Amino acid sequence: MAKIDLRPLSLTELKSLKARVEKAIERHDKKQKSKALAVVKAKAKELGFSLGELTGEVTKAPKAAAKKPSKAAYRHPDDSSKTWAGRGARPLWLKDALKAGKSLDDFKV
């Protein structure tokens, strides 16, 4: 490697050079880590494992938790099949009743 004469550089130039060198080192390290990770993942796969299984980070994929339907908080007075849990947009039947002067409390379950 050729020697670089740093003596003629100002302090500002030296600091700028230092920042550029640090960024170059970070890029180099990142690239090397990425290559190493690819090699290790490939070897794990060759042996029938995922990298997460070997490092203990992943055991099995968690099952998706099924969402339970919310309990009805409000019910239509004439049609008990029409309910609203109080989440999301209000149903049309409730909007119409509120516009007609009813109170939300009138529909509480």
Chunked into runs of 10 residues, the chain (109 residues) has average pLDDT values of: 91 96 97 96 91 79 69 90 90 92 91
Output the pLDDT for position 59: 59
> Is 66 within the bounds of a domain?
no
Q: What local confidence, expressed as pLDDT, does residue 26 receive?
A: 97
Residues 15 and 47 placed together within one structural domain of the fold: yes
DSSP per-residue string spanning 62-95? PPPPPPPPPPPSEE-SS-TT-EE-S-SSPPHHHH
**Domain total in the chain:** 2
Pair (15, 51) in one structural domain: yes
Domain-located, residue 5: no
| pLDDT of amino acid 1 | 81
- Tell me whether residue 81 is in a domain: yes
pTM given for the model = 0.46
- Contact assessment for residue 109 and residue 83, using Cβ atoms and an 8 Å cutoff: yes
Cα of 75 vs its chain's centroid, Å: 36
Give the pair of three-digit tokens for residue 56.
């203990």
Range of the domain at 81: 74-107
Q: Report the pLDDT value the prediction gives residue 61, as an integer from 0 to 100.
A: 56
Asked whether residue 98 is assigned to any structural domain, the reply reads yes
